[in-house]
Amino acid sequence: MPGNATTHFDDVALVSVASVLPSRVTTSDDIEDRLAPALQRLKLKPGLLRRVAGVNERRNWAEGESSDEATIAAGKQALADAGVDPSEIGLIINTSVTRKHLEPSVAVRLHHGLGLPSSAINFDVANACLGFINGMSLAAGMIQSGQVKYALIVNGEDADEIQVNTINRLVREDLDRDAFMQEFASLTLGSGAAAAVLGRASDHPEGHRIVGGVTRAATQFYDLCVGSVDGMFTDAKALLKGGLDLVVSAWKEAKGEFSWTGMDRYITHQVSSVHTSAIVRAAKLDRERVPVTYPALGNVGPASIPITLAAEQKTLRRGDRVLLMGVGSGLNTGMLELAW
């Protein structure tokens, strides 16, 4: 394969993964009740979010909760599960899309909240919904090279502001059906937080070795999904087609170095029933080995892969092969294999 898009690791392990979810549940019926005037005016049948996206509900932070505090809690849980003291962390990478300001990085707040040492490198990596996989790959490379002993990858997402802004805009009487559907994906977003500890496999035989993976880009599609706290605007059909073509291309090209047919579990980025079904068909995956969290959590952005992995870890057995699969707006795709 050309370039540096393929990576192998021989002494890096996922030592632990943990998640923290908001306590407030927002159902799709709740959202559609608020959108009722627009749905009636545009002659869109009720149950659109359930029927088209398969999203029944999502989580939002309740009073007294926040994405930052939840991310810190997830990080503390991951450290406790790994049996790693905060003083041993040499790197923390925040991979969130959510950020309240441009400066400083979100990572500095989390570094402080977790009580990490001043020697711990801290920064943000932003790559839409692919951020967590990118963060894991980057940290694995630094562990493999001996730069750090342990790394903490974190993510916290807050969909509240974009959800409110989108609903307020969609009920305007000057919005037509095409404009409504362009923002439909924003209504599937949810909130949540996750964290993972990576270390040397030789130090953690009980850990889950990171085998390696592949990345691929199709950046000619940079404008198919553009978002901010004000709203997310998507060409859903073109995005789905471009994303599937990219995944299939990366999958085929990886065959020379990886064999991903018949994995025990495929942990995919959680978008909707349409996207999951399309990936299952395109890559010819066993649907029973593709767990889903979007019906109850919606699309939690880059946190969705670690949240889904954290939910599945109790059912995984020693020796299982797990593939993390993500696609990020832009478009980029990444796949990372774990030997559980």
Which residues are annotated as catalytic?
A: 103, 129
Mapped onto helix, strand or coil, the DSSP state of residue 284 is coil
Q: Which residues contact 320 (CB under 8 A, 6 or more apart)?
A: 264, 265, 340
Q: In this structure, what token pair is assigned to residue 340? A: 């559980």
Q: What is the largest CA-CA distance in the chain?
A: 62
Q: In whole angstroms, what is the distance from residue 273 CA to residue 235 CA?
A: 17
Three-class SS of residue 210?
strand
Q: What are the distances in angstroms from CA 112 to CA 68, 106, 287?
A: 11, 10, 41
Is 228 exposed, middle or buried (CB count within 10 Å of its CB: 0-12, 13-18, 19+)? exposed
Select from 293, 329, 20 the least CA-distant residue to 156.
20
The beta strand positions in 2-149, using DSSP E, are 6-8, 13-20, 24-27, 57-60, 89-94, 121-124
Amino acid at 223: D
